[in-house]
Amino acid sequence: HCLTVRAICQREIDYDRRNGYSWKITLLRNYWKSKVKQEWLSGKYSHVHSRSSLPEKSMYPMDADTWGEILEAELER
C-alpha cells in the first residue's frame, strides 16, 4: 500500500521513512493526502468556482511544494 501511496506522495513518504517512521505509520500519515492530491492533480477540481462548492474531502493539510505541484498541473491544463 505504501508503494501505491508513494507513487503520488514520493517526497512525503521518503521524508517519513528517513525520519524513522514505520511503514504502517507512514501509510497512516499519507494515505488520505495521496487520495486528495491525486484528485487535485487529475483535474477533478479544475472548474470549482468557490470553496463552498468543493466536496468535504477535497482538502487536506499539504505543504507548499505539494500545492506547487498541483498549481503547475492546473497551469498545464
Give DSSP secondary structure letters for the chain: -HHHHHHH-HHHHHHHHHTT--HHHHHHHHHHHHHHHHHHHTTTTTT--SGGGS-GGG-----HHHHHHHHHHHHH-
Per-residue pLDDT of the chain (77 residues; tens, 9 = 90+): 888 999 999 999 999 999 999 999 999 999 988 998 999 899 888 888 887 877 777 778 888 998 899 889 989 88
**Residue 2 covered by a domain:** yes
In a domain, 49, yes or no: no
Domain that holds residue 67: 1-42+55-76
> What does the pLDDT look like over 55-72, one tens digit per residue?
777 778 888 998 899 889
Structural domain total, the chain: 1
